[in-house]
Structure 1
């Protein structure tokens, strides 16, 4: 579980590889605004996704990177503070998450709560465009 700007978010634990301090990141021209660029994770290039920007459209403070398995290789999710591993209760997909459309529907699997705040359970972050994977040097046709 982590913060992304004003939002509380969670990823399925089986998709998380590790968390770390932000690593040096090189920008990539021609990518969506939520793609911060490329970093090197365990010796391999990986796209860096600004989760706050992806979900809210605005930049958030980057405190941690959460490496996840997705698409053609690992992705570094640039997030606010990591709040730990917790068991969370979420509404079924036909609950509040059913209200989301477009990109939000593709990213948000369910909605739960942290105290009195909403918590977004994110789906696998496969929102990295093909061009970013190419720039990262990931072979086409390789899946996680």
Structure 2
């Protein structure tokens, strides 16, 4: 699977670990940055990941900052993005099964490496259930949202 991944300085170390984990599973990654611990602005990296999905250069996206909150807020401002802030395995499963999320957001200062790997693996391996859930997603695409 082709996955766009990005982080700010607060999520840089976790992003690098997740990259290695996913590459070892054969996924292709588009790393939009950041590429160091130097302070940067999270909306810039969120926008780049969302852009990759918008032009179909990637199927899914992963964004990481200190808490995951800023990245999820920024990502959800982009049309067609359903970004979910996830800090547990159950939520990772449900956000794909019921919400068909296409961007996973995590907080590096909130979860550890092993939990992050389990969240990512669960998120990637869970299929969207469709049915009544699709009807709800269709409402998100309407003008009222």
* Higher normalized contact order (CA 8 Å, seq sep 6+, divided by chain length): 1
Greater strand fraction, Structure 1 or Structure 2: 1
Greater helix fraction, Structure 1 or Structure 2: 2
Query: If the length of structure 2 is used for normalisation, what is the TM-score?
Result: 0.29
